[in-house]
Structures are given as structure tokens and as C-alpha cells.
Amino acid sequence: MSDENYVDPSRVNFDAFKALDRDEPVAMLNLVRFREKAAYPDDHPLAGTGLSGAEAYANYGRDSGPIFERVGGTVLWSGEPQSIVIGPEDERWDTAFVAYYPSAGAFLEMVTDPDYRKAVIHRQAAVQTSRLIRHKPRDAGKGFA
């Protein structure tokens, strides 16, 4: 797997997200690999406590969950990755899920909320690398396209 870690969005990627329609629903595919040990900033109360990345991510879920729900977010699907069938053999993920937002604007409201900005410190401490991919939902049914 690449040595590059993806924890927070780049300015270019975030600007591209914001340039898309903000009124349409969004399904966000999340692929996350945790750090073995959480890496909190030195001045954070949980720094040096020995929490695992998974434990820090649970803290993120606990603290960001009420904001996620307030903006209308819900988890459509969640799973524990087991095996790469197609893709780089050295890539691995600890959790995968699809978060649904009623609009891209709702997602932006969440990530700019002051309480969310406090909660995201847990995510930054927890995550070694991740992928967050915006999707435009479409009707499910037969076929792949």
C-alpha cells in the first residue's frame, strides 16, 4: 500500500466536492484503516493513554453521531472487510460503510459544526489512512449500471 496517508481531505478534493450540486442526496463510501495506537496531539487529554485506533474511532462516532443524525445522516450499510478480491493485495481496511446524507449541504453543515470539529480530533488520532468517496445515489435493482 502507498506510504501516503489520507486522513483529511485535500483542498483540491474538498473544493471539487463543494463544486458539485449541494441539494442532491449523497452516499459516502468510507474505507478506514486504523492506527495500531491512537495518535492524539500532545496537548489532548487522551494523549499517551494507550488507546487503540479503533477505540479512538469509537470516540469519534460517539461525539460526532448526534451531529450526523441532526443533519439527517444515516448509515445505509456497514461491514468488516475480509478479503481483497480485486485490487492491490497489500491494501487492507478495518471498517467500511456507506453514510447517507439528504444533501451535500447537510454533509457540509456537519463538517463545519463547531462540535463536529472537536469530535474530528478523535478521527484524526484513530485513522492511519482512509478513503471517502462521494456517490450520487441511484435506484437499486437488477444490473450494475
The reply to whether 143 falls in a domain is no
With b for 16 or more beta-carbon neighbours within 10 A and e for fewer, the 90-104 pattern comes to: eeebbbeebbbbebb
CB atoms within 10 A of CB 129: 19
> Rounded distance, CA 75 to CA 71, Å?
13
- Structural domain includes residue 16: no
Domain of 124, CATH number, reads 3.30.70.100
In a domain, 28, yes or no: yes
In a domain, 15, yes or no: no
How many structural domains is the chain composed of?
1
Which range of residues forms the domain containing residue 101? Answer: 24-135
d(CA 106, CA 79): 24
d(CA 134, CA 26) in angstroms, rounded, equals: 6
pTM of structure? 0.92
In a domain, residue 8? The reply is: no
CA 142 to chain centroid:
28
In a domain, 12, yes or no: no
What are the tens digits of pLDDT across the range 62-108?
999 999 999 999 999 999 999 999 999 888 999 999 999 999 999 99
The total number of residues written for the chain in this structure: 145
**Average pLDDT, integer, range 37-65:** 97
Segment 27-36 mean pLDDT: 97
Domain contains 141: no
In a domain, 83, yes or no: yes
Q: What is the pLDDT of residues 107-130, one digit of tens each?
A: 999 999 999 999 999 999 999 999
Q: Is residue 1 predicted with pLDDT exceeding 80? A: no
Query: Residue 52 carries which DSSP code?
Result: B
